[in-house]
A and B are shown apart, each in its own frame.
Chain A
């Protein structure tokens, strides 16, 4: 299948869903960061994190059902992007730990970083693979 043909194949809205997922992660992070050092309910941040993680899972599930997707190209790009974004997430995590963040907020923010570090490579790899020959 040629590149323009591939672009015409009906693909799930991976980018849109991914951006919504990232927005939820960011919203949760802003909610927690804006209340430091006051005690704050973790519930809104946990709900946003869970929603974001579900969107990530949904994105991967929807993508896995696409026929003749260029998975080789997808994984080729995704693994390097994953490495890069794990390093970036690690830097941010380091800043959290350096400032003695602990307990529930640390767990929520760490898991948020994990979703971020997986979802961004998925978006990059998807954008590349959708134009690749399967």
Chain B
């Protein structure tokens, strides 16, 4: 059934094809979102160039909040829900969610880290003489671990599942395997985000 449901749009016949909803057409990288990403990155460049406290804080806090919330929500709320969905519903949901993630996550992470580094440099928090320097280094380590997980496992799985779904006859086993990898790694980075909360609130409160 699972196999039939996923392969149906490309060529299953008879009863199984009737049971499966049509797979929505989608772009792996949604072109409509690219100008938005360009604007956000332009704001980041301007923010770093002017090196003023408010724009840097804005970019770092908004980017960081989006990154944290998305990771936690995906890993601990949406992930289990997707896991319990029927295969056709999961396919439809995934084809709508994952292309957006291809643009959102790299943008949010780049903005958060670049603005955060500039902000910390401006405030002198990256200096070894800073009283909470150990906490700053701890944040580097947490972000570093999250980056390796996200870049090595999560992002490749995200792209691969979309490419698989674009095929005329997608393989449900491959999609299942890649989606598990995506959800588990999102959960792992979500857990790391709890450590980020601890570190960032400590740094903000002194």
Chain A residues in the interface with B (C-beta under 8 A): 3-4, 7, 15, 18-19, 22-23, 26-27, 29-30, 33-38, 73, 77, 80-81, 84, 87-88, 91-92, 94-95, 98-99, 116, 120, 123-124, 126-128, 131-132
Contacts and interface: CB of A to CB of B under 8 A. Distances in A.
Interface string B139-168: 011001101100111011101100110010
B126 interface: yes
Nearest to B173: A4
Interface in B155-206: 155-157, 159-160, 163-164, 167, 171, 173-174, 178
Given A34-B140, A91-B114, 14 more contacts: A15-B156, A19-B148, A19-B152, A34-B133, A36-B128, A37-B127, A94-B45, A95-B114, A98-B118, A120-B151, A124-B155, A124-B156, A127-B178, A131-B163
A120 B174 contact: no
B152 A22 contact: yes
User: Contact residue range for chain B?
Assistant: 35 or more
Contacts, number: 106
B49 interface: yes
Given A123-B152, A124-B156, A128-B163, A30 B114 contact: no
B110 interface: yes
> Shortest 7 CB-CB distances between A and B: which pairs?
A127-B156, A19-B152, A26-B144, A3-B171, A127-B160, A34-B137, A124-B156
A131 B174 contact: yes
B140 A33 contact: yes
A27 to B, nearest CB: 7
A128 B156 contact: yes
A34 B137 CA distance: 6
Contacts of B118: 95, 98-99
B204 to A, nearest CB: 20
Nearest to A92: B114
B44 interface: yes
A4 B156 CA distance: 18
Contacts of A132: 163
Contacts of A84: 106
Interface of B: 29, 41, 44-45, 48-49, 51, 106, 110, 113-114, 117-118, 121, 126-128, 133, 136-137, 140-141, 144-145, 147-148, 151-153, 155-157, 159-160, 163-164, 167, 171, 173-174, 178
17 contacts: A4-B174, A15-B152, A15-B156, A19-B148, A19-B153, A22-B152, A30-B140, A33-B126, A38-B128, A81-B159, A84-B106, A88-B110, A95-B114, A120-B152, A127-B156, A128-B156, A128-B163
